[in-house]
């Protein structure tokens, strides 16, 4: 099973136009992911987490949105499932925030740092 998720309907529309395989849905991962426990064996997130570090609205709290996202995603995985998160932190503080919230939600592992520029 492959599922694509984005907060932007326009980005989902692009995926539909490109006829990507899998299911697509519009959702705000900062509000939690809408999946039952044990839905996924593995998770891959590309270039999404850094957007949760922003407070785009008055009710957006980056620390809380990251924890909600990680907690709901961790809960949607099977026990022993694997996850890979690729993101672009603006600074070391953001990297620490993302890592701390992921670990608080139950994730473990390491961090690979790559500077593409």
According to the model, what pLDDT value does residue 42 have? 93
Does 37 or 22 have the greater pLDDT score?
Answer: 37
Q: What tens digit of pLDDT does each residue of 9-32 get?
A: 999 999 999 988 889 999 999 999
User: For residue 1, which of 105, 78, 108 has the smallest C-alpha distance?
Assistant: 78
Q: Sign of torsion, CA 117 55 98 93?
A: positive
* Beta carbons of 65 and 97 less than 8 angstroms apart: no
Q: Which two tokens stand for residue 19?
A: 């006829």
pLDDT tens-place string over residues 45-102: 988 888 898 877 777 789 999 999 999 999 999 999 999 999 888 888 999 999 999 9
């Amino acid at each position: 099973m492959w599922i694509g998720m984005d907060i932007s309907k326009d980005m989902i529309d692009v995926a539909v136009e490109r006829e990507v395989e899998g299911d697509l849905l519009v959702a705000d991962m900062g509000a939690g992911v809408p999946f039952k426990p044990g839905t996924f064996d593995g998770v891959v997130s590309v270039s999404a987490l850094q957007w949760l570090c922003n407070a785009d609205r008055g009710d957006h709290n980056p620390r809380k949105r990251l924890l909600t996202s990680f907690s709901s995603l961790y809960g949607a995985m099977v026990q022993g499932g694997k996850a890979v998160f690729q993101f672009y932190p603006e600074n070391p503080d953001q990297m620490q925030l993302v890592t701390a919230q992921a670990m608080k939600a139950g994730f473990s592992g390491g961090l690979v740092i790559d500077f593409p520029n």
